[in-house]
Amino acid sequence: MAGNLRARLARIREAAAEPQRPVPIHQASDDIATFPEGWETIGHGLRFHESVRRNDAMAPPHAAIDLAIFSARLSGTIEAGNLLFFDLETTGLSGGAGTVAFLAAFGSLRADGSLSIRQYFMDDYPFEPALIAAMGDEFARAGAVVSYNGSSFDLPLYAVRRTMVGLGPAPDLLHADALHAARRLWRRSMPDCSLACLEAAALGVRRVGDIPGSEVPTVWFDFLRVGPSDRLARVFAHNEQDIASLAALAFAVHDAAHGRRELPSVDAVGLAELRSRVDEALAERTLTAALEAGDARATRPLMRLYRRTGRCGEIAPLVPFLPDDPAGLFSKSVYAERRLRDRREALRLAELAEELGRGALRDRAARRAARLRAGQTAFR
């Protein structure tokens, strides 16, 4: 794949070349009048742009952020001002050695609470080491990195490209992928959990003139052929908005998990899962309200919470509220036999669990049903 990309770039340069004229490399001296405003050259083939946004939805720089809200594998808190929001624009979405990042954006809170968004753009493929090095400098100053699907794409791509340009293995980064928490909240209510979908639904952000992400790679290849264009400016704006929306969404999710903010269309059970990582009493209230509203999915997490907090005596009364899936039917069968002393109902539920179940659960339900049938026969 890397070879294919190099070949494609070579063909682009050949097509762009004019007779008796070297192929232009788009450096500042060549296109300062047409390149989007606000960019400065900070190295050979590397450009930099910074913008500052003020948004009351952002957390104060010294606010404590619970990283566990974004991943159950994380723990501890970090000041909001030490978070680094990160996003890449690349030549494709396949990942691996054949994909190259040509634009990187980083966001962090300033002392006055505004959001600084810093973008790095490389003019051509040979300048990739400078871009990767600039990214490394940004990461080195971060207390923790926040991305959107970065654990599956952006950070693995950075690690691969860093090695390929000779800068060595990527250092370990404390990383919170906001996509995971977003899926907990909205995967049942939204068409998808893309950042574009959630920024509109949860934050009220409406992009005007935005360029579809699928067109972004083509814009860079066009830049290599013919230089800057209005579409390149739209890519920069798209990338900048991604960082602004990522930061706003991450802080909104954090506030919702702490009960400080209401977000539209969230799944109460998913919200309770995030809340259980930082406030079990709040999570219990959320699950209880969901169960009272008729959401049987709240039963199991509420039972687990009771078990975790040593309130095992409160678990059994929840069994009748379990969903009628194989596991729920099996538990209801046990409840009917032991609590209600209703062996006929226990057998009916066990047979349903056997019919609907698979694997070990089906085998357990079959043994239970056989025992209950044998008991009925013996009783007769």
Residue pLDDT, tens place only, 115-132: 999 999 999 999 999 999
Number of domains in the chain: 2
Domain assignment present for residue 80? The answer is yes
Residue 96 is predicted with a pLDDT of 52
| Tens-place pLDDT, residues 278-288 | 999 999 999 99
178 and 306 housed in the same domain: no
Domain that holds residue 90: 2-257
Answer yes or no: is 275 within a domain: no
Q: Is residue 352 part of a domain?
A: yes
From the CB of residue 359, how many other CB atoms can be counted at a distance below 10 Å? Answer: 8
Query: Taking a C-beta distance cutoff of 8 angstroms, is the pair 34, 230 a contact?
Result: no
Domain-embedded: residue 12: yes
What pLDDT, on the 0 to 100 scale, is given for residue 280?
96
Structural contact between residues 111 and 143, judged by C-beta atoms closer than 8 angstroms: no
β-pair partners for 175: 145
In percent, the amount of the chain with pLDDT more than 90 equals 83
Checking if the pLDDT of 172 tops 60, the result is yes
Q: What is the 3-state secondary structure (H, E, C) of the chain?
A: CHHHHHHHHHHHHHHHCECCECCCCCCHHHHCCCCCCCCEEEECCEEEEEEEECCCCCCCCCCEEEHHHCCCCCCCEEEHHHEEEEEEEECCCCCCCCCCEEEEEEEEECCCCCEEEEEEEECCHHHHHHHHHHHHHHHHCCCEEEECCCCCCHHHHHHHHHHHCCCCCCCCCCEEEHHHHHHHHHCCCCCCCCHHHHHHHHHCCCCCCCCCHHHHHHHHHHHHHHCCCHHHHHHHHHHHHHHHHHHHHHHHHHHHHCCCCCCCCCCHHHHHHHHHCCCHHHHHHHHHHHHHCCCHHHHHHHHHHHHHCCCHHHCHHHHHHCCCCHHHHHHHHHHHHHCCCCHHHHHHHHHHHHHHCCHHHHHHHHHHHHHHHHHHHHHC
* Residue 331 and residue 244 share a domain: no
What pLDDT, on a 0 to 100 scale, did the predictor assign at position 12? Answer: 53
Which of 24-28, 182-186, 229-233 shows the highest mean pLDDT? 182-186
Same domain? For 333 and 224 the reply is no
Domain boundary among 257, 283, 317: 257
Pick the more confident residue, 287 or 226: 287
315 and 227 housed in the same domain: no
The confidence score (pLDDT) of residue 377 equals 63
The answer to whether residue 266 sits within a structural domain is no
Same domain (yes/no): 37, 156: yes
Asked, for residue 272, whether it belongs to a domain, the answer is: no
- 85 lies in some domain: yes
Average pLDDT, integer, range 211-231? 92
pLDDT at residue 17 is higher than 80: no
Same domain, 226 and 360: no
What pLDDT, on a 0 to 100 scale, did the predictor assign at position 92? 81
Query: Do 373 and 348 form a contact (C-beta atoms < 8 A)?
Result: no
Tell me, yes or no, whether 230 and 337 share the same domain: no
For 354-368, the pLDDT digits (tens) are 999 999 999 999 999
What integer best gives the mean pLDDT of the chain? 90
pLDDT digits (tens, 9 = 90+) for 291-330: 999 999 999 999 999 999 999 999 999 999 999 999 999 9
- For position 71, what pLDDT does the model report? 94
Q: Is 115 inside a domain boundary?
A: yes
Amino acid at 298: A
34 and 112 in a common domain? yes
Q: Read off the CATH number of the domain in which 146 is found.
A: 3.30.420.10
CATH code for the domain in which residue 322 is found = 1.25.40
| CA pair distance 85, 241, nearest whole angstrom | 12
**237 and 353, same domain (yes or no):** no
Percentage of residues in the chain with pLDDT exceeding 70? 89
Q: Answer yes or no: is pLDDT of 22 > 80.
A: no
The residue that leads in pLDDT, 139 or 33, is: 139
Q: Do 19 and 127 belong together in one domain?
A: yes
Instruction: Kindly state whether residues 306 and 227 are assigned to the same domain.
Output: no
The span from the CA of 112 to the CA of 78, in Å, is 18
One domain, residues 186 and 74: yes
Q: What is the pLDDT of residues 24-80, one digit of tens each?
A: 444 444 444 489 999 999 999 999 999 999 887 789 999 999 999 999 999 999 999
Any long-range contacts for 248-251 (C-beta under 8 Å, 24+ apart)?
Answer: 248/55, 248/57, 248/58, 248/199, 248/203, 248/205, 249/148, 249/178, 249/182, 249/195, 249/198, 249/199, 249/202, 249/203, 250/70, 250/83, 250/85, 250/146, 250/176, 250/178, 251/57, 251/58, 251/59, 251/80
